Structure 1
Amino acid sequence: MDISIVIPLLNEKDSLQELYAWILKVMQSHQYAYEIIFIDDGSTDGSWKVIEELSSEHKEVKGIRFQRNYGKSQALDAGFEKANGAVVITMDADLQDNPEEIPELYDLIIKEDFDLISGWKKKRYDNVITKNIPSKLFNLAARKTSGLKLHDFNCGLKAYKNTVVKSVKVSGEMHRYIPVLAKNEGFDKIGEKVVQHQARKYGETKFGMSRFINGFLDLITISFLSKFGKRPMHIFGLWGTLMFIFGLLSAGYIGAMKLYKLSVGAKTILVTDNPWFYIALTAMILGVQLFLAGFIGELLIKTKSNEKHYKIRQNLNL
């Protein structure tokens, strides 16, 4: 199979028939062998009924229905698991991503041998205040933190080699950082393509300030995980050891000074009246806690399961 098109969605029933017809036109004109995987992330507007109708009429249309709303990352993860195409295309269901871009994305993966191509919506039709400006700030921070020179990390239109989507685990709200996750797995041929952005035709955006804030929090998380996710002892153990040694040396110094003053008959104060006693004690306690955090982190990594963070209610054609 040439292409798997993975489409997560939430309450997009008005756009699904039109989106399918648009994709079908592109696929037929280029004679691709393809599948379309719709992942219904807990829609309440009848989106699943439309997917059922499409899948019953067209065997290339497949559907995954979540038990409830779990988020875009979980939807993509479920779609990636089922994708069979040599190239996997992700796109949003709101008609703001243009299916006409698919052939060029496919060629970049197959002919130019890229591992991943990320879309760049250079000209956007979103609200400038609520989405465009926050998006620019977010992408600037993501570039600086990840080292990937991409302009639009959050663009839903991306193309991957099948081996990439089978290697990355997308959870939480990490869908924005799939290029970073891919880079961390050793896929370093990552490119970017300017894609056409369409104005929203139906429904309303799911973007809000909470997602903007969550995006920055996830950026901090993935930056930490990319460096220490597989070796937490290297960070927690290091700082824990340093703090414990600092506290131990401080306590030793306090004890030595106490003994010295006693030996020369000088006036002394209780050890507990010395503020350095509490600094030393705190440093040793924090040091032990940090070391244990690193140790527990190592145990979790070695014993973690591949448990999915979503429940599928129904599958179609899968």
Structure 2
Amino acid sequence: MREPRFIRTCSIWRALEVVGDTSTLLILEASWIGARRFDDFRARTGLLNALLSDRLKRLVAAGIFRKVAYSETPPRFEYRLTEKGQDLYWTALMLRRWERRWAPREGKLDILLRHTTCGQIFEPTPTCLACGEEVTARDVDWTEGPGVGWMAARYSRRRQQRAAAAERAGETALMDEAAQITGDRWASLVLRSIFTGVRRFDEIRRDTAMASNILSERLSWLAGKGVIRAEAYSASPPRYEYRLTEKGLDYYPILLMLLQWGDRYYVAPEGPPLLLRHGADGHDLRPAVTCSCCHAPVRPQDVTFEIVEAAPARRDVAS
């Protein structure tokens, strides 16, 4: 029997165990914009019936959806978000924010958000409630928390099909490139390592317990997406460090909101694995997603939306 491989304890990883799958993220996206019934999800996501049924069952088992009967003969159900599912809203907003800023959007759809509290069309902003400032990767430091440790790495082959679901969704997907990255747990774990200062191939491999060929492929794929860049630190033999581009740095709020959700629902009894500090004075980070207009934390019940044709995304993907 193969011995288990271990990675650093991480609430991001625990969150991705539940939602780190492209098909799952597209289902959640469809739910946020009104899908409730099986046929609604199928039309919105383009997923095959068997795959859609499997992911809905997983989401119900994870406590993110609850099934509500709307017909007894024949039995028919709606899938509605639980409180745990609603708490993924900030992650969804950060996925949508990153997609709008960085992914090719020509010929696709976009979503305009209106905050009913202030009545304005707004952009969701990652914010520290302790100081009121926008959160970026450059402003956050971390120390080990009481729940730090090691856990067995369990990888699923389904994660290798990262683009298939988004391709089936076609022009209807509002966050297809973001869903491809977040929906690939290996790629997300690589980014977690780089964000925490682990940059060299062998260091990342040890940190993620990932096979060398898979790690090499993920690094090449992320570089091709413009999220990381390779920087040589040895010419003979050639050796590289992997650093985040501006596009990659701007992915940080997605991981931050996943970490917060994972801390809430999957934290160890001892406490969170990481403690985050913010700003020059190192105060405790209190992450939230706020309205760019009135600066209040955004709640799903306070947001309406309109689906429109997308404007071109940003192109400044330089390091």
TM-score class, shorter-chain normalisation, is under 0.3
Q: Which has the larger radius of gyration?
A: 1
Structure that is richer in strand per residue: 2
TM-score normalised to the size of structure 1? 0.26
Structure that is richer in helix per residue: 1
TM-score normalised to the size of structure 2? 0.26
